[in-house]
Amino acid sequence: MSEVGANTKPLALICGVSGQDGAYLARRLLDRGYRVVGTSRDAQAGSFGNLTRIGVRDQVELASMASNDFRSVVQILARYEPQEVYHLGGQSSVGLSFEQPVETFESISLSTLNLLEAIRSLGCKTRFCSAGSSECFGDNGGMPADESTPFRPHSPYAVAKAAAFWQVASYREAYGLYACSGILFNHESPLRPERFVTQKIVKAACRIAAGSNERLRLGNLDIHRDWGWAPEYVDAMARMLGQDEPRDMVIATGETHALEDFVAEAFDAVDLDWHDHVTSDPALMRPKDVRISRANPALAADKLGWRASMRMPGVVRAMVAAEQALRVKAPAP
């Protein structure tokens, strides 16, 4: 008998619960009456700071699972028999993927394959959603990408995400699994770690506004991205698993802005002119990057009734406000 037992709550398993999306998804599902189990390679040693920060750490059950180990995945799925599985884990930095291509591919693609094969082999009546990425589209001439747009991945991260996407599609078509991918465009929140350029910008702007003499060094300011609000994007993924039939969907705002605009918004939020504090450093540019990323999220609006309500300016200002609030709460040195 599984650990679900007589518990009548639907059970969702979140792989990658310690990350930005995993934490927000856990809160979203808990608010709707789910029992939520989150996995980590070593659940006993993890701090799960994001879950603590948004106030759900004590409500999420934690289990140790190595997603690149098939036996470990099978054990956890057999133990909990979840109705829904969300795969949000894996190495999530495009830039770092150039330095760690093997680890990136294994943590994204192999883990996806293990989850799908475990669901198939156990005969689980499980609905599966994988977090895909807009990076899979690469450069497509600046045209808005939708579900029919070909993939042209430019980074090891994008290659791994593309492989995971096709694994999901293959298991859906070959074995009849309820499996789908949310092709997520950039989405941010205060839970982003500083290795992401968006949080790097926000934190630097707040430090400089507080009196730091530093100068923010960034790579290419002319890249264009579609930036949304992470809590809204996990809501879209949860809605995807509530449909009668599984479908891959682009999740985005439909608005694209230059990184320079993001920088300007962050510094304007703290009453500074970004030109006085930011330098573009060629040494920080990636070996290969997508210059313009645009999205057409019409299918999500049509099938899910989902539309992003927060656009880039609102996202930036929410991140700045959260960072400033943290600085106020921080103890004096």
CA angle 266, 237, 28 (to 5 degrees): 75
CATH number at residue 279: 3.90.25.10
pLDDT tens-place string over residues 124-135: 899 999 999 999
214 with 141, same domain? no
* pLDDT over 80 at 333, yes or no: no
Reported as a single tens digit per residue, the pLDDT across 218-239 is 999 999 999 999 999 999 999 9
Residues 235, 115 share a domain = yes
Is residue 90 domain-shared with residue 234, that is, in the same domain? Answer: yes
- Retrieve residue 175's tokens: 């074995």
Name the average pLDDT for the chain.
Answer: 93
179 is a domain residue: yes
| 213-217, 279-283, 288-292: range with highest mean pLDDT | 213-217
| Helix 111-122, helix 70-80: angle, nearest 10 | 50
Q: Which residues 6+ apart lie within 8 Å of 88 measured at CB?
A: 14, 15, 16, 17, 19, 21, 22, 25, 131
Residue 298 lies in a domain: no
Inside any domain, residue 333: no
Is 255 annotated as catalytic?
no
Q: Are residues 209 and 93 in the same domain?
A: no
Is 67 catalytic? The answer is no
Is residue 2, in this structure, part of any structural domain at all?
A: no
Structure-token pair, residue 231: 């809590």
- Asked, for residue 303, whether it belongs to a domain, the answer is no
Residue range 238-266: average pLDDT? 98
Number of domains in the chain: 2
133 labelled catalytic: yes
Strand runs labelled E in 210-266: 216-218, 224-225, 228-229, 249-251, 257-258
Is the per-residue pLDDT at 1 higher than 50? no
**Confidence category of residue 6, pLDDT binned at 50, 70, 90:** very low
In a domain, 215, yes or no: yes
Whichever domain contains 168, its CATH number is 3.40.50.720
Contact, 39 vs 65, CB < 8 A? yes
Report yes or no on 1 lying in a domain.
no
Inform me whether the pLDDT recorded for 288 exceeds 80: no
Residue in 24, 40, 111, 135 annotated catalytic: 135
Q: What pLDDT shows up at residue 51?
A: 97
Which of 24, 157, 171, 178 is catalytic? The answer is: 157
Residue 159 lies in a domain: yes
Do 49 and 95 share a domain, yes or no? yes
Q: Is the per-residue pLDDT at 63 higher than 90?
A: yes
Q: In this structure, are 235 and 169 located in the same domain?
A: yes
Say yes or no: 238 and 269 in one domain: no
- Give the per-residue pLDDT at 161: 96
Q: Are residues 178 and 319 in the same domain?
A: no
Q: Which of 97, 107, 109, 133 is catalytic?
A: 133
Average pLDDT over residues 235-259: 98
Which of the four pLDDT bands, split at 50, 70 and 90, describes residue 299?
Answer: very high
Q: How far apart are CA 330 and CA 309, in angstroms?
A: 31
Span 109-122, pLDDT tens digits:
999 999 999 999 99
Do 238 and 287 share a domain, yes or no? Answer: no
pLDDT at 303 exceeding the cut of 70: yes
The band of 8, judged by pLDDT with boundaries at 50, 70 and 90, is: confident
For residues 204 and 246, membership in a common domain is answered with no
Structure tokens that stand for 9 in this block: 């709550």
Give the SS3 label for residue 271.
coil
Question: What one-letter code names the amino acid at 272?
Answer: L
Are residues 169 and 286 both part of a single domain? no
Assess whether 203 and 126 both reside in one domain: no
Q: For 255-277, what is the mean pLDDT? A: 98
Task: Show the domain range for 110.
Answer: 11-188+228-251
pLDDT at 286 exceeding the cut of 80: no
pLDDT at 202 over 70: yes
